Amino acid sequence: MNQQKSLMNLLLVSTAAFSGYQKGANTHYRSQQINTNHAYRNENLNVPNPSLQNNPINANTTYSNTMQVSSQAPCVTSGTPSATATAQADNTLLPALLAALYAADEAIGINPEATGPFSLPPLEYDYNALVPYTSEETLRIHYNQLHRRYVNNLNTALACCPEFYNYTLQEFLLFPDRLPSGVQTQIVNNAGGDYNHSLTWKLIGPPNNTRSTGDFASVIDKQFGSFENLKSILKQTALSVFGTGYAWLTLNPYGRMIVVTTGQQLTPIPLRTVPLLLIDVYEHAYFLDYESNRGEYVDQLFNLVNWNRVASRYDAAMNIFNNVNELG
């Protein structure tokens, strides 16, 4: 009974914390969240969650699970793999994780309540806005052809199963097992392609001199040594991706930032982390401008990263996670 009560509190807190991000009279967002929580209640909420009672920074000391990495899974390259493994095993984190994913997106101007059929989100700058670090031609092809193709292919795949038109991108990526096996791969790959590029366009922009600030900056210093060291880790991780994929800076529900890689259009959401920043290492992102010099591309891409928005994602997600952790 106590356990039920505390789980109910967790749901209420994560929903209430999230509701601060809602706008005006839009109740769809809230009902979406509540419906999703219903799903969690049916599937997952019988798992005791003592780790949430610990200080986030010390939480990894309680972890004993072994990281399970399949060939399709994201790869942890920096941070605390055991923490990630525990987050994966701990299904009581799911409501807070989903709320944090939505809050982080909303904090940078992405509409997190979008459901199918999906549309290409508007680009908030001109195709030549990233010059000289990314050419007009690269951005035009990347956004207007490739991103658009992911959106169109996702809608094509969804046409077979309209019962999933009330799912958000984040739900497809967090709950792929709910999808019919015949279209699961197509939906997950293209939902990932849409999600990843929507994030990218918001997290880069015209050349700027932003760097990490505030709480986000001090946590980076604590967890990675320095801002410059974080960038170095991200670059080395981007260079380590074999073939196509991404390097990511992510945040887990215990407040720990982790650098991971994914292949193709997969995301680190199945690792139970919130993406904060991503580096697209598909050659389509840089080949016209840098040929095969991925390292130079990553170095120059840092001139375009809007670190204020990365920090906004961190702050929004931590606001949700802190509310949950305080319950303990």
Q: Which residues bind Mn ion (CB under 5 A)?
A: 280, 282
To Mn ion, the closest distance from the beta carbon of 320 in angstroms equals: 28
To Mn ion, the closest distance from the beta carbon of 280 in angstroms equals: 4
The nearer residue to Mn ion, 30 or 149, going by C-beta atoms, is 149
Q: Which residue is nearest to Mn ion (CB)?
A: 280
The nearer residue to Mn ion, 102 or 282, going by C-beta atoms, is 282
Q: Count H helices, E strands: the chain?
A: 13, 4
In whole angstroms, give the CA distance from residue 137 to residue 145.
Answer: 11
The nearer residue to Mn ion, 51 or 267, going by C-beta atoms, is 267
β-strand pairing of 75-78 with 257-263 = antiparallel
* Inter-axis angle of helices 181-203 and 307-327, nearest 10: 120
In whole angstroms, give the CA distance from residue 225 to residue 187.
Answer: 39
* Inter-axis angle of helices 94-107 and 28-43, nearest 10: 150
The nearer residue to Mn ion, 248 or 254, going by C-beta atoms, is 248
To Mn ion, the closest distance from the beta carbon of 57 in angstroms equals: 34
To Mn ion, the closest distance from the beta carbon of 155 in angstroms equals: 18
Question: Could you tell me if 207 and 305 are in contact, meaning their C-beta atoms sit under 8 angstroms apart?
Answer: no
The nearer residue to Mn ion, 6 or 306, going by C-beta atoms, is 306
The nearer residue to Mn ion, 136 or 228, going by C-beta atoms, is 136
In whole angstroms, give the CA distance from residue 171 to residue 325.
Answer: 23
To Mn ion, the closest distance from the beta carbon of 244 in angstroms equals: 9
The nearer residue to Mn ion, 194 or 280, going by C-beta atoms, is 280
Coil vs helix vs strand at 319? helix
To Mn ion, the closest distance from the beta carbon of 137 in angstroms equals: 14
Question: Could you tell me if 247 and 226 are in contact, meaning their C-beta atoms sit under 8 angstroms apart?
Answer: no
To Mn ion, the closest distance from the beta carbon of 193 in angstroms equals: 8
Q: Which residues contact 30 (CB under 8 A, 6 or more apart)?
A: 15, 19, 22
Question: Which of 192, 208, 206 is CA-nearest to residue 278?
Answer: 192
The nearer residue to Mn ion, 121 or 253, going by C-beta atoms, is 121
Question: Could you tell me if 51 and 62 are in contact, meaning their C-beta atoms sit under 8 angstroms apart?
Answer: yes
What count of other Cβ atoms lies within 10 Å of the Cβ of residue 229? Answer: 13
To Mn ion, the closest distance from the beta carbon of 282 in angstroms equals: 5
In whole angstroms, give the CA distance from residue 226 to residue 228.
Answer: 5
